[in-house]
């Protein structure tokens, strides 16, 4: 049979290889598609989980840092408040303390009330209770009293209690306690702030959270400290949690960061979360989302693929690329944010460490040099104290802008923190860096306009060169810092290149700081007293109190070593207050024995500028029950002339209560006679540098004679310091000098030996320097 066309068999035979191939391709395509779809589904689901875990970990880290920063800020503020309350003797001046507590509360919007509590739990003062109203007594609450006594004896700077409702406030809050101790470590009182649970919104409302997220703090004992958002605080805050987070924390004690998954005890929903432990508090920050959110997000990202099987490869690619770009951008943004100073927008310490490491690596390859300039603003703390931290922040912003204007495009400017900046000058040597430093000193010479005020501020700069002064980040920064401190030591407003001996200098400075703080705590300081003598009668009329330091390891420390350090660092304030109180008590004991003498106490420039100076002096006199006329305050000429008008006001106030004023080291400063005649001083102390040479130097003799004449015309008495010989004594007496002190008469001696001099009524007369007459 003849066929006009191919038969089905022929067609089948002809199609078989192609059909088989096509079938195999289709099956392979389908199988491959199914496998790819399954792999894609599994991989995308896992990626969604990991992405969420990473984001939660980052958010938990942010929550931890924000929370710790707020708590540390409150704790530091409470320490300063405690010192202020101790200085004002808050227990005996409650209404004065009330205004201080109110001001503290107003500066911290997260605080609902501030309470002052005695060590036995008695409420002394509360900003929530109006003057005259009965104060609440919480001692009957056993749980409260137990927690209070535990925190009282805790060694932490501050302690954070569980949430509570009531206790004088009609809202949920938790106690934030700081124990104020005396110098022996005994508790004086407790400052207790009530932190509202609404603080949670204040802390975390700006975090970029996912829908349904919860962020909070959980205590080590399982109680929720803060939760946001929280719609039923009584249900959440009033009992310990038992969910997945608590189980994870208890199963892994000591874990700093981690993740958890499981039922939440607050609503029994399955949640995924991350936590990060606060380094200075017994709690962890956590962020969690409902587990179903991951399914929702996965579906939102992938449903086109599930609905469009034929184009699933394109969908997969587009989603993968989109997610990858988003993740890279998100990671880049987070890294950039963590490496940027929030105030000035400059690179921060983390960023400059990385930049410096790359620059060091580049220099090593090319055998090139780079310079580091370490800047610290001079006396920036005074601006913060006098104009406020807001003005200080604005000043820092303007400083950063002005520095940037003189740098090259390749130079790097960073803010290390506080008032410290760092400049990296690539491809620069000592000559180039000194030119930049000089230019910096010049541009700081023009005032900065801040809040309508012109502020003059200088900078001290330390410079080190890679690789000459260090070959790694740590040593370069440390050496630049040491050079900067040397610039400050030389008088500020200058730059200094690092030298090898500066490293030893900074080590000695740190050791001195450690030793000094230990000496204050362990009471290693004591006083010697040098007689102040009437040159005519030879009678002792007073004593100058001079501080001494007996170091148990190094023996007697030279005051010329530690007094300048104490003045510069500010620790002269607690030391000076101790000297004042001790000297007043000793003077009172002499008065009780019937001796009509006064005690002279030196005031440093830093003490003289202390706004609490008058109250500290008044407290010292009151505690010792010493009449003000028995106290003489010695103020150096240079200190009184730093702000003459303010100095006169302070001295007038001191004089008004009967305190004697002496101008110390007269003739060595740059005082104005116009101001000198207005200073209410009783005594002018002639500096020893003029007294030493009066017997053989006509210039010194002329200066002393002029000072005595000036004192006489201004109706002020004169006292000569440093009388070392009988000849000096006789010349001064003949010139009409009223009083004197010096080793020829008596060196500084302990209080017991000074009391013996008074008992013997010893008198020093110039006729015989070895003879001490008894009246």
- Give the pLDDT score at 645: 78
Phi and psi of 413, rounded to 5°? -115, 130
- Strand 283-290 to 459-466 pairing: unpaired
Residue 636, SS3 per DSSP: strand
Phi and psi of 446, rounded to 5°? -85, 145
Query: What gap in Å lies between CA 625 and CA 88, rounded to an integer?
Result: 17
- Give the pLDDT score at 315: 56
- Give the pLDDT score at 17: 53
Query: What gap in Å lies between CA 256 and CA 550, rounded to an integer?
Result: 44
Q: What is the pTM of this model?
A: 0.47
589 CB-near residues (< 8 Å, 6+ apart): 755
Residue 292, SS3 per DSSP: helix
Q: Tell me the CA distances in angstroms from 430 to 358, 465, 489, 491, 675, one per residue in order.
A: 21, 7, 21, 22, 46
403 and 423 in contact (C-beta within 8 Å)?
yes
Q: Report the 10 Å Cβ neighbour count for 260.
A: 22
Name the burial class of residue 176, with classes exposed (0-12), middle (13-18) and buried (19+) by CB atoms within 10 angstroms of its CB: buried
Q: Tell me the CA distances in angstroms from 121 to 111, 124, 125, 180, 667, one per residue in order.
A: 20, 9, 12, 14, 56
Q: What is the 3-state secondary structure (H, E, C) of 125-136?
A: EECCCCCCCCCC
Q: Cα 347 to the chain's mean position, in Å?
A: 21
- Strand 412-417 to 370-377 pairing: unpaired
- Give the pLDDT score at 41: 75
Which alpha helices (DSSP H) does 714-750 contain, by range?
Answer: 726-735
Q: How many CA atoms lie within 13 A of 508 on its CB side?
A: 10
Query: What gap in Å lies between CA 33 and CA 40, rounded to an integer?
Result: 10
The segments of the chain whose pLDDT lies below 70 read 1-31, 33, 200-202, 205, 265-267, 306, 309-328, 330-331, 503, 641-642, 667-675, 766-775
Paired tokens of 282: 């017994």
DSSP tally for the chain: helices H, then strands E:
25, 30
582 and 527 in contact (C-beta within 8 Å)?
yes
Q: 572-592 vs 751-759: helix axis angle to the nearest 10?
A: 30
Paired tokens of 218: 């959980």
571 and 516 in contact (C-beta within 8 Å)?
yes
436 CB-near residues (< 8 Å, 6+ apart): 371, 373, 406, 407, 423, 425, 428
- Of 682, 737, 667, nearest to 715 by C-alpha is 682
Q: What is the pLDDT of the chain when averaged over all its residues?
A: 84
270 and 290 in contact (C-beta within 8 Å)?
yes
488 torsion bin: left (phi>0), alpha (psi -120 to 50), beta (else): alpha
Query: What gap in Å lies between CA 577 and CA 625, rounded to an integer?
Result: 16
- Give the pLDDT score at 19: 46
- Give the pLDDT score at 4: 41
- Give the pLDDT score at 3: 37
Query: What gap in Å lies between CA 48 and CA 42, rounded to an integer?
Result: 10
Phi and psi of 611, rounded to 5°? -65, -20
Looking at residue 210, what DSSP letter applies?
Answer: P
- Give the pLDDT score at 327: 61
Phi and psi of 262, rounded to 5°? 155, -170
Query: What gap in Å lies between CA 651 and CA 632, rounded to an integer?
Result: 12
């Amino acid at each position: 049979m003849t066929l006009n066309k191919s038969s089905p068999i022929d067609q089948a035979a002809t199609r078989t290889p192609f059909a088989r191939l096509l079938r195999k391709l289709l099956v392979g395509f389908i199988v491959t598609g199914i496998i790819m779809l399954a792999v894609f589904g599994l991989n995308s689901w896992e990626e969604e989980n990991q992405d969420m875990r990473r984001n939660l970990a980052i958010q938990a880290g942010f929550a931890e840092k924000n929370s710790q920063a707020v708590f540390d800020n409150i704790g530091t503020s409470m320490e300063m408040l405690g010192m202020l309350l101790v200085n004002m003797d808050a227990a005996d001046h409650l209404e004065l303390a009330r205004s201080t507590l109110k001001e503290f509360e107003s500066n911290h919007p997260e605080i609902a009330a501030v309470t002052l509590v005695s060590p036995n739990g008695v409420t002394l003062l509360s900003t929530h209770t109006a003057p005259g109203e009965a104060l609440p007594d919480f001692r009957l609450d056993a749980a409260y009293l137990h927690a209070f006594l535990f925190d009282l004896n805790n060694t932490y700077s501050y302690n954070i209690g569980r949430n509570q409702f009531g206790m004088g406030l009609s809202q949920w809050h938790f106690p934030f306690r700081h124990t104020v101790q005396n110098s022996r470590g005994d508790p004086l009182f407790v400052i207790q702030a009530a932190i509202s649970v609404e603080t949670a919104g204040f802390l975390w409302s700006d975090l970029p959270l996912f829908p349904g997220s919860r962020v909070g703090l959980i205590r080590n004992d399982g109680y929720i400290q803060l939760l946001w958002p929280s719609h039923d605080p009584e249900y959440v805050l009033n009992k310990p949690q038992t969910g997945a987070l608590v189980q994870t924390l208890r199963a892994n004690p000591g874990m700093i960061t981690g993740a958890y998954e499981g039922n939440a005890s607050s609503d029994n929903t399955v949640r995924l979360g991350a936590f990060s432990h606060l380094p200075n508090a017994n709690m962890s920050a956590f962020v969690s989302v409902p587990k179903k959110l991951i399914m929702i997000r996965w579906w939102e990202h992938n449903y086109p693929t599930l609905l469009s099987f034929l184009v699933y490869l394109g969908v997969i690619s587009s989603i993968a690329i989109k997610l990858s770009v988003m993740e890279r951008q998100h990671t880049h943004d987070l890294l950039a944010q963590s490496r940027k100073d929030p105030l000035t927008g400059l690179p921060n310490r983390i960023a400059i460490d990385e930049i410096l490491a790359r620059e060091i690596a580049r220099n090593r390859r090319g055998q090139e040099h780079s310079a580091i300039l370490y800047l610290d603003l001079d006396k920036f703390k005074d601006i913060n104290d006098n104009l406020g931290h807001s003005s200080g922040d604005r000043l820092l912003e303007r400083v950063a802008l002005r520095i940037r204007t003189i740098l090259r495009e390749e130079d790097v400017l960073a803010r290390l923190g506080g008032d410290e900046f760092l400049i990296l000058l690539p491809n620069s040597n000592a000559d180039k860096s000194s030119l930049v430093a000089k230019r910096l000193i010049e541009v700081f010479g023009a005032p900065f306009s801040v809040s309508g005020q012109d502020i003059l501020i200088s900078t001290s700069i330390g410079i080190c060169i890679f690789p000459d002064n260090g070959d790694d980040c740590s040593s370069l920064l440390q050496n630049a810092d040491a050079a900067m401190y040397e610039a400050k030591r030389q008088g500020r407003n200058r730059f200094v290149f690092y030298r090898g001996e500066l490293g030893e200098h900074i080590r000695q400075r740190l050791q001195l700081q450690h030793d000094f703080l230990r000496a204050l705590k362990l009471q290693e300081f004591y006083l010697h007293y040098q007689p102040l003598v009437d040159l005519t009668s030879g009678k002792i009329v007073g004593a100058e109190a001079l501080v001494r330091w007996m170091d148990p390891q190094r023996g007697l420390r030279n005051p010329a070593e530690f007094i300048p350090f104490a003045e510069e660092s500010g620790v002269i304030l607690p030391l000076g207050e101790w000297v004042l109180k001790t000297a007043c008590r000793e003077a009172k004991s002499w008065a009780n024995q019937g001796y009509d003498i006064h005690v002279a106490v030196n005031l440093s420039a830093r003490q003289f500028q202390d706004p609490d100076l008058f109250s500290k002096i008044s407290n010292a006199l009151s505690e010792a029950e010493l009449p003000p006329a028995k106290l003489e305050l010695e103020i150096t000429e240079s200190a009184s002339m730093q702000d003459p008008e303010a100095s006169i006001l302070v001295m007038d106030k001191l004089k008004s209560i009967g305190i004697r004023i002496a101008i110390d080291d007269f003739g060595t400063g740059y005082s104005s006679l116009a101001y000198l005649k207005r200073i209410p001083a009783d005594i002018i102390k002639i500096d020893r540098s003029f007294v030493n040479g009066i017997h053989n130097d006509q210039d010194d003799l002329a200066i002393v004679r002029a000072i005595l004449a000036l004192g006489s015309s201004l109706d002020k008495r004169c006292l000569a310091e440093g009388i070392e010989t009988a000849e000096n004594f006789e010349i001064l007496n003949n010139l009409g000098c009223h009083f004197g002190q010096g080793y020829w008469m008596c060196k500084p001696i302990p209080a017991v030996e000074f009391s013996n001099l008074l008992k013997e009524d010893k008198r020093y007369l110039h006729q015989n320097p070895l003879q001490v007459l008894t009246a």
